[in-house]
Chains A and B, each alone.
Chain A
């Protein structure tokens, strides 16, 4: 597979990060960084990461199944993650999640027909004191109201 020069540089750095002979340690970062660029974890990507980290494809595949941020299927270009864990629950996180379902017209872990948006109800994302919290891709949004969510989605719709 071919990747951008930036990603190749990240991979090269990763392979030097761990003690000699411990390239398996690079598997998870490599998968996540690659997913950020190519969108999801394909069979081809699993083979590629296995080759680069000198492990078997099965050793990569079992990791993919374990970590919730690694996706075997493409998510939307904008992955909307709404936290409903305790601090967010107390401040309207569930209502916000249901509102997001309506706004986007999709359910948990679904993708809109145009591939632009996906939605996920997530566990605590470390923004509890500024709840309810939402992450769109990696970007944090704090104290999000239904109106603010619609506004964010509206801006992204225009940007596509």
Chain B
């Protein structure tokens, strides 16, 4: 199902079958270019497949934007142990709701992407790690997998090619941290999701100590179009080194929130005013979370920017996971920072001290500030505490908590000052929710 109207500005590559009748069925898939890329990949050598993905300039859609072809090339060619492809369908970064649509509307495309990745790294088993809240998608994927088996697109000797591949679904049970790739590996092994020391990287020693390729749902869903139409065509859609399209999840204070597939490098202001139909109630733009709650925020003045990995890095932010959240002039930035910190404090796995203690302290400070009990010296202290976490935590969750917080205190100090000396929140319209 689609939950919002598409936009005429979209460039539909991974969502091209969305909206077709029975878009999740194998027949619809086959009638609309399905599995063409797989047959092409069978005729290619693994090196050729990986090169094609490199040419496409596809970068990981899970958040870090790591070049996909390069990651694939890290998996050792030969291994005495079996290799695995694991799909990260944990989608928990606040602001992000796209992988859900890819699985719901085109599960066969993901299956084909997994097969091609398997062929490229010589793996014969794949697992899809789906967050527990997405229970209905376990059923959707299981049904799609069963259909693929029944028609010879999975299992032994797929379509007479001699290639064997099995795919299984696996469910999480509520933990943001399990989206971090090494925590995910511990989770799939039946343990608490605590990240692992790197190196060794999963490509060398991942699930069950075997070489493992881990990619996001959207990353793998882009592989069939890349192999089918060529890496160069995909690359040409985006900006240099930032190939293809991206599913952008627009949310917050705009008229037409929704998920839209747009070329990488699409201008953020155009996203807001043309794709998203402009600010709700004609309010002024105050800030944007470019790609999920982990990213430093952009002020309204910084929003005339190409939404690609490198442009955002230059603006000292990140493209992240595609969750673009729009904030209007009535948003209390202290409250916003507090809600983000509550999330990270709640989701910290507790393994390392800077993150476990840092997020809890920052949550308390931001809460006190928002309640009107803050002191002027707290404002720089919130920034300093966050900076002390940066780069000093065991996994990137600590950075993810610190980065937006630093950007908010530095870019919106006036919002913090307005809460000093016992002043009630100037924007307040509701009391606190209770999440602990």
Instruction: Mark B236-277 against chain A: 1 for CB-CB distance below 8 A, else 0.
Output: 000000000000011111000111000000000000000000
A87-B95, A87-B323 known, 13 other contacts, Cβ within 8 Å: A24-B191, A26-B190, A28-B172, A32-B171, A63-B192, A66-B349, A86-B95, A87-B252, A94-B432, A98-B430, A123-B94, A126-B131, A126-B133
Of the candidates A67, A95, A121, which one forms a contact with B430 in the assembled complex, judged by CB atoms under 8 Å apart?
Answer: A95
B145 shortest CB reach to chain A, Å = 11
Question: What are the residues of chain B within 8 A of A85 when measuring CB–CB?
Answer: 94, 293, 339, 343
Of the candidates B175, B259, B325, B331, which one forms a contact with A66 in the assembled complex, judged by CB atoms under 8 Å apart?
Answer: B175
Q: Are B134 and A90 in contact (CB under 8 A)?
A: no
Q: Are A124 and B175 in contact (CB under 8 A)?
A: no
Beyond A22-B208, A70-B174, A123-B176, whether A63 also contacts B435 by CB under 8 A is no
- The verdict on A17 contacting chain B, using a C-beta distance below 8 Å, is yes
Q: Are A19 and B208 in contact (CB under 8 A)?
A: yes
State the B residues within 8 Å of A (CB): 3-4, 82, 91-97, 99-100, 125, 131-136, 168, 170-176, 187-193, 208, 249-253, 257-259, 289, 293, 323, 325, 327, 331, 335-336, 339-340, 343, 346-347, 349, 429-436
User: Residue on A with the closest CB to B431?
Assistant: A98
Please measure, in the bound complex, the distance between the C-alpha atom of A131 and the C-alpha atom of B168, giving whole angstroms: 31
- The verdict on A55 contacting chain B, using a C-beta distance below 8 Å, is yes
A160 shortest CB reach to chain B, Å = 22
Question: What are the residues of chain B within 8 A of A87 when measuring CB–CB?
Answer: 94-95, 251-252, 257, 323, 325
State the A residues within 8 Å of B (CB): 17-19, 22, 24-29, 31-33, 53, 55, 59, 62-63, 66-70, 84-87, 89-91, 94-95, 97-98, 107-108, 121, 123-131, 135, 138, 140, 142
Please measure, in the bound complex, the distance between the C-alpha atom of A94 and the C-alpha atom of B191, giving whole angstroms: 33
Q: Are A123 and B92 in contact (CB under 8 A)?
A: yes
Q: Top 6 closest A-B pairs, CB basis? A: A69-B174, A68-B174, A67-B173, A24-B190, A87-B251, A124-B94
Beyond A62-B192, A67-B172, whether A90 also contacts B100 by CB under 8 A is no
A72 shortest CB reach to chain B, Å = 13
Question: What are the residues of chain B within 8 A of A26 when measuring CB–CB?
Answer: 190
Q: Are B293 and A86 in contact (CB under 8 A)?
A: yes
Please measure, in the bound complex, the distance between the C-alpha atom of A107 and the C-alpha atom of B436, giving whole angstroms: 12
User: Residue on B with the closest CB to A142?
Assistant: B3
Q: Are A123 and B208 in contact (CB under 8 A)?
A: no
Across the A-B interface, how many residue pairs have beta carbons closer than 8 Å?
164
Beyond A28-B187, A69-B173, whether A17 also contacts B168 by CB under 8 A is yes
User: Residue on B with the closest CB to A65?
Assistant: B192
Question: What are the residues of chain A within 8 A of B349 when measuring CB–CB?
Answer: 66
A70 shortest CB reach to chain B, Å = 5
B353 shortest CB reach to chain A, Å = 18
**Centre residue among B189, B336, B347 by max chain A CB count within 10 A:** B189
Q: Are B92 and A124 in contact (CB under 8 A)?
A: yes
Question: What are the residues of chain B within 8 A of A91 when measuring CB–CB?
Answer: 251-253
User: Residue on B with the closest CB to A69?
Assistant: B174
Please measure, in the bound complex, the distance between the C-alpha atom of A95 and the C-alpha atom of B208, giving whole angstroms: 45
Q: Are B347 and A123 in contact (CB under 8 A)?
A: yes
**Between-chain CB contacts (< 8 Å), 22 pairs:** A22-B208, A25-B189, A28-B171, A28-B190, A67-B173, A67-B174, A85-B343, A86-B95, A86-B325, A87-B95, A87-B257, A95-B429, A108-B435, A124-B343, A126-B96, A126-B97, A126-B133, A127-B97, A128-B97, A129-B258, A130-B3, A130-B4
